[in-house]
Structure 1
Amino acid sequence: MAEVTTGIEVRYFAAAADAAGREKDTIDLPEGADLGTLRAVLVDRYGADMERVLSVAAFLLEPGDGGRGELTRDLGRPAGSRVDVLPPFAGG
């Protein structure tokens, strides 16, 4: 059985926060889980509204030591310890 990592912080912005009904969560995922696994958990937890948001959202991964965060839509990337869910923003 895979070891479970607690403390993966997920922060929601704009439409993602609306779909979740909150601004952040702590999600338990197996060690080394990727963004695809996180996406499946979020859709299972929050349903069709979250699925629509995630179909166009990008994920901002927590930066490494001294690095900058990485913005990605690659669901094969490891989730890490913090993920921001960023739907497209309107305006400028």
Structure 2
Amino acid sequence: MEICVRFFAAAQAAAGTDQSVVKLTDKATLADLENVLGQQNPELANVLNRCSYLHESIAVRDRSRVLSNGDTVDVLPPFAGG
């Protein structure tokens, strides 16, 4: 399946892009996505440790959330003051 990942602020700088499509196995979780992104880019892996996520525009804290083909995940590092 394919997931659209949008990067913001420090995550965008570490990823070197504002958006990417990531291929995952069916029933992959947010944690699986995080692992794939980190394995592809060690600098991004360091940033991901501090990030929060929006899955289909809804804040997600549970990394075991199952993703679906075509979903969008926003990667949000801590912003100034927050």
Q: Same fold (TM over 0.5)?
A: yes
Q: What are the superposed Cα offsets for residues 30-71 of structure 1, whole Å, 9 maximum, x if unpaired?
A: 112101100110001111x21221111001000xxxxxx321
Where do 5+ consecutive residues of structure 2 fail to align?
none
Q: Secondary structure at 2:24's aligned position in 1?
A: strand
Task: State the SS of the aligned residue for 1:52.
Answer: helix
> After TM superposition, where is structure 1 displaced by more than 2 Å over at least 4 residues in a row?
none
Q: Name the aligned partner's letter for residue 57 of structure 1.
A: C
- Specify which of 33, 38, 43 is matched with residue 43 of structure 1: 38
SS at match of 1:30: coil
Distance (Å, rounded) in 2 between the aligned partners of 1:54 and 1:21: 14
d(CA) in 1 for partners of 2:20, 2:30: 15
**Alignment identity in percent?**
41
How many Å separate the matches in 2 of 1:9 and 1:55? 19
The correspondence of residues 1-92 of structure 1 with structure 2, limited to 5 A, is 5-6=1-2, 8-47=3-42, 49-62=43-56, 69-80=57-68, 81-91=71-81
Task: Tell me, in whole angstroms, the C-alpha distance in 2 between the residues paired with 1:20 and 1:32.
Answer: 24
Considering Cα pairs closer than 8 Å and 6+ residues apart, tell me whether 1 or 2 has the greater RCO. Answer: 2
State the AA in 2 paired with 1:83.
Answer: V
Take 1:54 and 1:74, find their aligned partners in 2: how far apart are those partners?
Answer: 14
The Cα shift of 1:82 comes to 0.7
TM-score, normalised to structure 1, is 0.79
